[in-house]
């Protein structure tokens, strides 16, 4: 079984949380029993999370050797310059080493997304922009760290696809079964 789930903002991509006070988890979304997340999506990120009951499939989806492309829509603070975009395309040096090059393009308009709750703070004097970033590795908070390294702090991060699987029209908290 393979499930596409639109993970809402401020939800853990696990079924339990031992922190105090407890945070929202996947347990609150009536997902089928015996599935678990194939990979991670940070608490403060949104979008496509794949869940499965098949360990081999989870491995194929998440193991870096398989290099599944993951596409993110990223709202950044500032207006990206060609030099900043080129730095991302070449890979940037993070504290845990250089990243692989990524595909990145500036989006002319915000992608068709749902309103975030709570909304991203709007600042009249600070412009923002949307990027589509596709990477093939998956380090901890990698997209956020990469955009910050080139001077474009991330305001909102939404995973749109993993390999052939896309978020499509799923709204936050909704899921659907996928064909493998």
Q: What is the CATH number of the domain that holds 12?
A: 3.30.70.580
- Whether 157 and 168 map to the same domain: the answer is no
Lowest mean pLDDT among 87-91, 115-119, 150-154: 115-119
What integer best gives the mean pLDDT of the chain?
Answer: 93
Nearest to 138 by CA among 54, 53, 51, 72: 72
- What is the tens place of the pLDDT at every residue in 38-57? 989 999 999 999 999 998 88
Please tell me what DSSP assigns to residue 150: T
pLDDT (0 to 100) of residue 124: 81
Give the integer Cα–Cα distance in Å for 162 and 61.
Answer: 8
Split into its structural domains, the chain has a count of 2
- Whether 78 and 29 map to the same domain: the answer is no
Which of the residues 42, 53, 54, 128 is marked catalytic? 42
- Whether 49 and 114 map to the same domain: the answer is no
User: Does the active-site annotation cover 42?
Assistant: yes
- Whether 13 and 32 map to the same domain: the answer is yes
- Whether 33 and 11 map to the same domain: the answer is yes
- Whether 82 and 138 map to the same domain: the answer is yes
- What is the tens place of the pLDDT at every residue in 106-129? 999 999 999 998 888 888 888 999
Tokens of 36: 């678990």
Pairing state of beta strands 103-107 and 128-135? antiparallel
- Whether 51 and 112 map to the same domain: the answer is no
Share of the chain above pLDDT 70, in %: 100
- Whether 132 and 169 map to the same domain: the answer is no
The torsion angle over the Cα atoms of residues 22, 16, 27 and 68, rounded to 10 degrees, is 120
- The boundaries of the domain holding residue 97 are 69-162
Query: How confident is residue 3, by pLDDT bands cut at 50, 70 and 90?
Result: very high
* 3-class state of residue 22 by DSSP: coil
């Amino acid at each position: 079984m393979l499930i596409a789930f639109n993970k809402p903002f401020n939800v853990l991509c696990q079924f339990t949380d031992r922190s105090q006070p407890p945070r929202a988890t996947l347990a609150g979304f009536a997902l089928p029993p015996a599935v678990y997340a194939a990979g991670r999506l940070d608490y403060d990120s949104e979008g496509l999370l794949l869940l499965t009951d098949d360990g081999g499939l989870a491995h194929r989806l998440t193991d870096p050797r398989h290099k599944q492309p993951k596409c993110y829509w990223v709202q950044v603070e500032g207006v990206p310059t060609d030099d900043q975009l080129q730095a991302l395309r070449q890979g940037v040096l993070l504290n845990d080493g250089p990243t692989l090059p990524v595909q990145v393009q500036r989006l002319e308009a915000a992608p068709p997304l749902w309103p975030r709750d709570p909304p991203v703070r709007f600042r009249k004097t600070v412009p923002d922009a949307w990027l589509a970033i596709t990477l093939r590795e998956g380090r901890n908070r990698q997209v956020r760290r990469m955009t910050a390294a080139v001077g474009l702090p991330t305001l909102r991060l939404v995973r749109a696809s993993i390999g052939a699987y896309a978020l499509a029209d799923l709204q936050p908290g909704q899921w659907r079964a996928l064909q493998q």
